[in-house]
C-alpha cells in the first residue's frame, strides 16, 4: 500500500499535470504560433514534455527528472536553433538576441553598448527597432563572445544566458536544500527550468532568465542571512535589467529588519553594482543611455516597443484616447499600495519578501501599457519560492545529497 501511495502521490500527479499540459502547449505553439523561433521550439519541446509525462510515475528522483526535462525542452532546442542560425537560418532567434549581441559589439567598438538618437534615425526605417537596446549596460557581456570570437553556435547569446541561469539555479537549490523540503526544491526548479513560459523564453530569446535566476539566488542568500552575497546577486541582476529593481527594493526593506549594518551592506551592493555598470556608458555617451534605457521603454523613442499582449494595461491603453494615462495611473496606484504594504507590514523573512515581490510584479505586468505574457515568468518563480519556504515545509532531516533528497514521494 505504501508503494501505491507513493506512486499516486499528489506531487507525482501534479508533475503529470504539469508535463502533460506543457506538452499540449508545445504542440499548440508548434502548430499555431506566428513566430518561427517559437514554432521551432514547440516542434522539439513537445517530445520532451510528452516523455516526461509518461515516466513521471516511474522515475523516483523528481529533481533529477526536472533537469533531464530541462535538457530536453530547453537545451536541445536552444542548441539546435543556435546551430541552424549559424548555418544561415535568420529566423532562429528573436530580436532580443540580436540586440544583446549588437550591444557587445558596440561596447568593444565605441565603449558604449548604445546608439544615440541621431544614429538610430540614420538607420533604415526597418532597422531602427533593432537599433535600440533597452537593457542595462551589463547585459552586453552576453554579447561579447560573438563580438570576440565571431559567428559560432556557442557564441550565440542564448548559450550564455542558459549557462548563467543554470549556475544561479543550482546555487539557489543548494542554499535552499537545508531550509525546505524536497517538494519545495522541485517546485522552485520547475518554475525556472521546465515551465513552458521559461523554456520557450530561454530557447528563443532568453535575456530574462539570468535576471530571474539571480534574483532567486539573492532571495536564497537572504534566507541564509548572507547579506553581502545577496547584494551581489541582485546587484548583478539589476546591472542586466531593471526588472530586478522591485525585488532589490523589497529586499532592502527586509535587510532593515535584520539590522542597519546588514541593510547598509546589502543596499550598497544591490544598488551600487547597477550604478557602477551605468557609469562607463554615462561617461561615454549619456544621451545614448537616456534614449535607450529611459526614453524608448517609456514610449518616446523613434519607434515603439513591439511588446503587446492583451493584458489589462494594454487593453485599457488601447480602449480610449486617455487609456494610456489611465493605465499608468493605475500602475502608480498599485505601486503606492505596495509601498504602503511595505511600510505598515515590512517583511520579516524571505518568504514574506517573496510574496510582496510576487504581488507587486504581477500588478506591474498586468498594468504596464506595453508588456508581454512572457514577463509572468518573474512572479511565477517568486511564487514558487514563497510556497517552498512555507513553515510546514521545513525538512525533518537535512539531506546530505541534493539530488537523492528529491526521490520517493517528494
Q: What is the pLDDT of residues 333-371, one digit of tens each?
A: 988 999 999 999 999 999 999 999 999 999 888 888 777
Name 262's Cβ contacts closer than 8 Å, sequence gap at least 6: 225, 227, 255
The three grid cell numbers given for residue 400, joined into one nine-digit string: 546530505
Distance CA 143, CA 155 (A): 8
> Which pLDDT belongs to residue 181?
87
CA atoms within 13 A on the CB side of 74: 28
Contact 180, 395 (CB under 8 A): yes
The pLDDT > 90 percentage for the chain reads 71
Distance of CA 397 to the CA centre of its chain: 31
**Greatest Cα pair distance in the chain:** 73
* pLDDT value of position 170: 97
Average pLDDT of the residues of the chain? 89
Residue count of the chain, please give it: 410
Digit-coded pLDDT (tens) for 301-329: 888 776 666 777 777 777 777 777 887 88
pLDDT score at 263: 93
The candidate with the shortest Cα–Cα distance to 165, out of 204, 133, 199, is: 199
Is this model's pTM higher than 0.85 or not?
yes
What are the φ/ψ torsions at residue 230 (nearest 5 degrees)? -60, -40
Contact (CB, 8 A) for 209 and 246: no
pLDDT of residue 401: 62
Chain segment 276-300, per-residue pLDDT in tens:
999 999 999 999 999 999 888 877 8
pLDDT at residue 5, as a whole number: 47
Res 370: pLDDT: 73
CB 254 within 8 A of CB 353: yes
Query: Which of the residues in the chain have pLDDT under 50?
Result: 1-3, 5, 396, 399-400, 405, 407-410
Q: What is the pLDDT of residue 303?
A: 85
Residue-wise pLDDT tens digits, 113-137: 999 999 999 999 888 888 999 999 9
Buried b (16+ CB within 10 A) or exposed e, 103-131: bbbbbeeeebbbbbbeebeeeeeeebbbb
Between CA 352 and CA 360 the distance in angstroms is: 12
* CB of 52 closer than 8 Å to CB of 66: no
User: Do residues 201 and 374 touch, judged by C-beta distance below 8 A?
Assistant: yes
Amino acid at each position: 500500500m505504501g508503494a501505491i501511495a507513493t506512486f499516486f502521490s499528489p506531487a507525482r500527479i501534479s508533475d503529470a499535470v504539469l508535463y502533460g499540459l506543457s506538452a499540449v502547449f508545445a504542440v499548440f505553439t508548434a502548430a499555431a504560433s506566428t513566430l518561427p523561433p517559437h514554432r521551432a521550439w514547440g516542434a522539439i519541446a513537445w517530445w520532451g514534455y510528452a516523455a516526461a509525462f509518461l515516466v513521471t510515475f516511474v522515475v523516483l528522483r523528481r529533481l533529477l527528472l526536472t533537469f533531464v526535462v530541462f535538457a530536453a525542452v530547453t537545451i536541445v532546442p536552444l542548441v539546435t536553433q543556435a546551430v541552424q542560425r549559424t548555418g544561415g537560418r535568420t529566423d532562429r532567434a528573436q530580436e532580443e538576441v540580436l540586440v544583446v549581441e549588437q550591444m557587445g559589439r558596440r561596447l568593444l567598438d565605441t565603449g558604449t553598448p548604445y546608439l544615440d538618437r541621431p544614429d538610430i534615425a540614420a538607420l533604415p526605417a526597418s532597422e531602427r527597432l533593432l537599433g535600440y537596446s533597452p537593457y542595462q549596460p551589463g547585459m552586453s557581456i552576453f554579447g561579447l563572445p560573438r563580438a570576440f570570437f565571431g559567428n559560432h553556435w556557442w557564441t550565440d547569446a542564448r548559450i550564455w544566458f542558459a549557462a548563467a541561469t543554470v549556475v544561479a539555479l543550482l546555487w539557489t537549490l543548494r542554499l535552499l536544500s537545508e531550509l525546505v523540503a524536497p517538494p519545495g526544491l522541485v517546485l522552485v526548479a520547475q518554475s525556472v527550468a521546465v515551465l513552458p513560459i521559461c523554456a520557450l523564453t530561454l530557447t528563443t530569446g532568453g535575456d530574462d532568465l539570468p535576471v530571474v535566476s539571480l534574483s532567486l539566488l539573492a532571495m536564497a542568500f537572504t534566507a541564509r542571512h548572507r547579506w553581502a552575497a545577496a547584494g551581489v546577486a541582485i546587484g548583478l541582476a539589476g546591472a542586466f535589467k531593471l526588472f530586478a529593481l522591485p525585488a532589490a527594493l523589497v529586499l532592502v526593506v527586509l535587510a532593515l529588519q535584520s539590522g542597519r549594518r546588514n541593510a547598509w551592506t546589502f543596499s550598497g551592493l544591490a544598488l551600487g553594482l547597477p550604478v557602477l555598470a551605468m557609469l562607463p556608458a554615462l561617461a561615454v555617451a549619456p544621451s545614448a543611455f537616456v534614449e535607450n534605457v529611459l526614453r524608448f521603454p517609456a514610449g518616446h523613442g523613434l519607434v515603439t516597443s513591439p511588446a503587446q499582449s492583451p493584458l489589462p494595461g494594454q487593453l485599457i491603453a488601447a480602449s480610449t484616447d486617455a487609456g494610456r494615462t489611465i493605465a499608468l495611473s493605475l500602475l502608480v496606484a498599485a505601486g503606492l499600495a505596495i509601498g504602503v504594504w511595505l511600510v505598515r507590514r515590512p517583511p520579516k523573512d524571505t518568504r514574506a519578501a517573496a510574496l510582496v515581490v510576487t504581488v507587486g510584479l504581477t500588478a506591474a505586468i498586468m498594468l504596464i501599457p506595453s508588456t508581454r505574457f512572457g514577463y509572468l515568468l518573474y512572479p511565477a518563480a517568486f511564487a514558487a519560492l514563497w510556497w517552498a519556504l512555507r513553515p510546514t515545509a521545513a525538512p525533518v532531516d537535512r539531506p546530505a545529497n541534493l539530488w537523492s533528497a528529491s526521490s520517493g514521494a517528494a
